[in-house]
Structure 1
C-alpha cells in the first residue's frame, strides 16, 4: 500500500470557535461563528473582489451569522474580536445551534 510522504503544512491555531460571539472590528457588526476554515478556502475571484484589505490567506477564516439580519459573512481572523453582549438574532440560528449559555451557543446535537 503506497503512503503519502507529502509534508503537512503547519496551520495557524484558530482564536475563535464555532458558537462564539464575535464583532467585526472595521464594520462593527456582531455575529456568531458557525464554521471555521484553517486557511482561506474561497475563490481567487472572491478574494480579489471582496477582501479589499488583503488579509492573509494562510490564517483562519470564519463563517459568521450576522446579528439582526439574514446575512452570513466570511471573515479573516484579523478582522474579528470576541463579543460578550449576549445572544444574536438570526433566522438560521436554529439550524446550527440549540442553546445559548455562558456567553456562547451550543452546537445542535453537540456535546459543547
Structure 2
C-alpha cells in the first residue's frame, strides 16, 4: 500500500493556537484558541449551514475568539474557510486576556497556565 495515499485521511491542521485568521467567505476575523482534528459539533449546527457552502466534516475545525464590525463572539470554522489575517492588528475580544499574553502582529502567545 502506498503510504502517501490514504483515502480517508484527515488533513493536518494548517493553523495553530494563537494565530490570527480571517474567514474566507464571511466578514470576520479571530484568534484560534482550540483545534478539532475533524468536525466535532452537533449535527443540528452542521445542517444549519446552507448546503451550497457547507464544508466537509473530515478536516480540522477551529474554535475562534472572533470579531466583526458589530460584536465579538466565539466561532467554529472549517479549515477550508480560513485564511491567514494580514492586518497585523490585534483582535478585539474580551476573552483574549484570559487565554493569551503578547501579540506579535501575527499571533498571540498562549498564557503559561494554558500550555500543555
SS in 1 for 2:46: helix
TM-score (norm 1): 0.82
* Structure 1 unpaired stretches of 5+: 1-8
List gaps (5 residues or longer) in structure 2: 1-7
Q: Deviations over 1:22-79 (max 9, x none)?
A: 0111112111111111000001111111364221101000011112533111001111
Q: Which residue of 2 aligns with 1:36?
A: 35
The separation in 1 between residues aligned to 2:81 and 2:10, in whole angstroms, is: 18
* Runs of 4+ residues over 6 Å off in structure 1: none
Q: Distance in 2 between matches of 1:105 and 1:77?
A: 19
> Where does residue 70 of structure 1 map in the other structure?
72
Aligned pairs for 1:1-112 within 5 A: 10-50=9-49, 52=51, 53-67=53-67, 69-85=71-87, 86-109=89-112
Residues 38 and 57 in structure 2, CA contact (< 8 A), matched pair in contact too? yes
Q: Matches of 2:50 and 2:85 in 1, distance apart?
A: 22
Alpha-carbon RMSD across the aligned residues, in angstroms, is 1.8
Shift of 1:20: 0.5
